[in-house]
């Protein structure tokens, strides 16, 4: 936390060689005071609050439910939107990337999802010890990578396959760790 305890010496300790000596020192002290006042004010606004939470160590603390509902789902929907099946009175058709910009965007959406798998894997808040957990995350990553590759090649069939593989990857992890989301695991016939 920023507090009145900050002193010029403390700042000079942080910024070696930063302070002048002799005649310029007084003016420098005033500048330091202004700086400290500015820092104190900004700490009131909360903009330096992160400095007081170094324990996160650069890793996410977003809870799993929030990550899934707000981050994973939203980004997967963007990927799936490029291969959505539309049905109306004129028949069925896929919404598909129409031009170079669309293909670029489809690739960006897939790469965003791919990167999110690293976020999930390295989260501080979500630490599941079961080894299948990581395998399921990897499966999402592979599907996202395939989607990005397909978009780069402008290969719609491959994009479609990757979208299905992505869906399978989400569903299979849910079946393993949150079966209620997918309507439960189907009962074995005869049981």
| Binding segment toward ligand HEC, per CB under 6 A, in 28-36, 39-47, 54-62, 172-180 | 172-180
Spatial separation of the C-alpha atoms in residues 72 and 175, rounded to whole Å: 16
Interface mask toward ligand HEC for 46-75; x: CB under 6 A: ------------------xx--xx--xx--
| 125 in contact with ligand HEC (CB under 6 A) | no
Q: What sign does the dihedral 141-142-148-151 (CA atoms) show?
A: negative
Question: Measured from the CB atom, is 27 or 63 closer to ligand HEC?
Answer: 63
Place of tokens 């170094």: 54
Give residue for tokens 């903009």: 47
Of 9-17, 92-100, 102-110, 176-184, the window that binds ligand HEC (rule: CB under 6 A) is: 176-184
Q: Which is nearer to ligand HEC, 106 or 140 (CB)?
A: 140
> Pick from 11, 6, 69: which is nearest to 43 by CA?
6
State how far the Cα of 50 lies from the Cα of 164, in Å rounded to an integer. Answer: 40
Within a 10 A sphere around the Cβ of 149, how many other Cβ atoms?
A: 15
The residues binding ligand HEC (CB under 6 A) are 64-65, 68-69, 72-73, 76, 133, 136-137, 140, 166, 169-170, 173-174, 177-178, 181
């Amino acid at each position: 936390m920023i507090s009145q305890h900050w002193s010029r010496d403390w700042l000079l300790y942080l910024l070696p060689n930063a302070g002048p000596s002799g005649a310029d020192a007084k003016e420098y002290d005033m500048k330091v005071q202004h700086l400290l006042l500015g820092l104190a004010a900004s700490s009131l606004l909360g903009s330096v609050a992160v400095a007081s939470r170094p324990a996160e160590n650069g890793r996410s603390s977003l809870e799993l439910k929030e990550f899934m509902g707000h981050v994973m789902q939203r980004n997967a929907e963007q990927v799936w939107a490029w291969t959505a099946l539309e049905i109306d009175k004129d028949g069925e058709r896929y919404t598909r990337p129409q031009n170079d910009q669309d293909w670029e965007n489809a690739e960006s959406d897939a790469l965003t999802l791919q990167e999110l798998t690293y976020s999930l894997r390295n989260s501080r808040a979500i630490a599941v010890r079961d080894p299948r957990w990581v395998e399921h995350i990897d499966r999402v990553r592979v599907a996202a990578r395939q989607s990005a590759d397909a978009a780069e090649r402008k290969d719609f069939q491959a994009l479609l396959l990757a979208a299905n593989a992505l869906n399978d990857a989400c569903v299979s992890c849910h079946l393993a760790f949150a079966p209620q989301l997918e309507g439960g695991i189907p009962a074995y016939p005869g049981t």
